[in-house]
Amino acid sequence: MSEQIIKLSNNAVNRIKEIMSKAENSTIGVRVGVKSGGCAGMSYIMEYAKDVRPNEEVIEDKGVKVLIDPKAIMYLLGTEMDYKKENFSSQFVFNNPNETERCGCGESFKV
């Protein structure tokens, strides 16, 4: 079996399950992609997925389904997706070995 593009931490899995419990029934998982923008050039985007699009990678891990946008696969290879709760914010965090630069706010990155 080939290595998963992204690995999910237990915190990320639990948070996705929480999100999915509030989502519409037609939602099958969470889609992760990247877009141009942010101070370092690229930023992560997440949205509900209602279907699998052509050429998408589907990762099923610990009972959750994450769909990876084909344009994002090369940027996300080897990334661990985590979820951090802090005093003032909680967010998904991508620990990406391909990043060469990340902006101070942690919202965008460069490969």
- Tens-level pLDDT at each residue, the chain (111 residues): 457 889 999 999 999 999 999 999 999 999 999 998 777 778 899 999 999 999 999 999 999 999 999 999 998 999 999 999 988 888 999 998 877 777 666 666 776
Domain boundaries, the chain: 6-110
Distance CA 51, CA 83 (A): 24
CA distance 108 to 11: 21
Top CATH class, 6-110: mainly beta
104 SS3 class: coil
pLDDT of residue 14: 97
pTM comes to 0.84
